[in-house]
Amino acid sequence: MSPHRPPSNIIIRQTTPEDFNQIIEMGRLIYSDLGTWSMKHLESHQHIFPQGQLVAVDQDTGKLVGSSASLIVLWDDYDLRDSWHDFTDHGMFTNHDTQGHTLYGADVMVHPHQQGRGIGKIIYKARRDLTRRLELRRIRAGARLRNYGKFKDQMSPEDYVLRIICGEIGDPTLSFQIKQGFRVLGVVRDYLHHDEESCGHAAVIEWVNHQAATRKDTYGRDRKFAKPRKRSMKPIDDAEDSDQ
Ligand SMILES: CC(C)(COP(=O)(O)OP(=O)(O)OC[C@H]1O[C@@H](n2cnc3c(N)ncnc32)[C@H](O)[C@@H]1OP(=O)(O)O)[C@@H](O)C(=O)NCCC(=O)NCCS
């Protein structure tokens, strides 16, 4: 995919209950067997942390073309290897903690007919803006390794992630997240255990808000998943985050 300008007719705004049916419909199209949000989940998100729930809307048609769902967590309450269900309280966000410093990305999706047009990119810009506004130190999420199932007989999930970081292979989710300025902290083997595409595996990813984070917040990182610095590759740091 070549670099592109996000479409100018798309706006990002906070989710309202009127959006719920379209979010559920889009989730069904995207995740099919994996399952998606129910009305009960979306009502809970809206009640607990309305600011964290965003939708992308096409202003020409009024239709919803993307969405994202986030909550705040106190990272010390969790282990890097915890699952999506642990970090989101089974999708209900009742573990949302305003004392936390981490925006946890529970989901991001773009309508299948609209993918590859820069909409995911502007949703992530809105997430970073929210993180800065709330003075949170970071965004973390589990990026499910969508294409790993195709490589499972050839390499471990860790090697798969390393090869994506090096740009040797592409993954529909992780390659996108890396382009959004995220770096990989580790690999979790049972993040979404019923996800056949990824065989349940995900990469734990992080974007650091340097306006709020201190040196302590990034000190002592395992360098295993650091991106090699080649002349041909842009480094994954805030230099890539052009929305400062
Ligand atoms: C992942 C997803 C949100 C990306 O949204 P999108 O609107 O298609 O992505 P964009 O068009 O904004 O792409 C942004 C950048 O990522 C890159 N990118 C997107 N998909 C990519 C892929 N499959 N491989 C490599 N790069 C990719 C684009 O080239 C673009 O880079 P550029 O800025 O250099 O042009 C979307 O594809 C989606 O909804 N996937 C299914 C749901 C899902 O798996 N969500 C993640 C749950 S962990």
Alpha carbon nearest to ligand 1 atom 18, residue: 176
Cα four-point dihedral sign 207, 208, 209, 212 = positive
Q: How far apart, in whole angstroms, are the C-alpha atoms of residue 8 and residue 164?
A: 30
In this predicted structure, what is the pLDDT of residue 5? 63
Q: Which atom of ligand 1 is nearest to the CA of 118?
A: 12
Query: What is the distance in A from the centroid of ligand 1 to the CA of 203?
Result: 16
DSSP reduced 3-state for 59: coil
Distance of CA 184 to the CA centre of its chain: 12
Alpha carbon nearest to ligand 1 atom 15, residue: 176
In this predicted structure, what is the pLDDT of residue 181? 94
In this predicted structure, what is the pLDDT of residue 240? 45
Residues 6+ apart with CB under 8 A from 25: none
- Among 154, 151, 146, smallest CA distance to 202 is for 146
| Contact (CB, 8 A) for 107 and 67 | yes
| Contact (CB, 8 A) for 208 and 239 | no
Burial class (CB in 10 A: 0-12, 13-18, 19+), 37: buried
Query: What is the distance in A from the centroid of ligand 1 to the CA of 62?
Result: 22
- Among 129, 123, 176, smallest CA distance to 6 is for 123
Taking the model in full, what pTM does it have? 0.91
Tokens of 106: 């529970």
Indicate the CATH number for domain 6-136. Answer: 3.40.630.30
DSSP result, 127-194: HHHHHHHTT-SEEEEEEE-TTHHHHTTTS-HHHHHHHHHTTSS--TTHHHHHHTT-EEEEEETTSSTT
Q: How far apart, in whole angstroms, are the C-alpha atoms of residue 68 and residue 105?
A: 8
Residues 6+ apart with CB under 8 A from 94: 44, 48
| HSE of 153, CA atoms in CB hemisphere, 13 A | 1
Q: How far apart, in whole angstroms, are the C-alpha atoms of residue 128 and residue 103?
A: 9
Q: What is the pLDDT along the chain (244 residues), one digit of tens a residue?
A: 444 567 889 999 999 999 999 999 999 999 987 789 999 999 999 999 999 999 999 999 999 999 999 999 999 899 999 999 999 999 999 999 999 999 999 999 999 999 999 999 999 999 999 999 999 999 999 999 999 999 999 999 999 999 999 999 999 999 999 999 999 999 999 898 888 889 999 999 999 999 999 888 887 677 788 877 654 444 434 434 545 4
Query: What is the distance in A from the centroid of ligand 1 to the CA of 6?
Result: 12
- In testing the pocket of ligand 1, which one of 104, 176, 187 has its CB within 8 Å of the most ligand atoms? 176
Domain boundary assignment for the chain: 6-136, 143-244
Alpha carbon nearest to ligand 1 atom 42, residue: 109
4 lines ligand 1 (CB under 6 A): yes
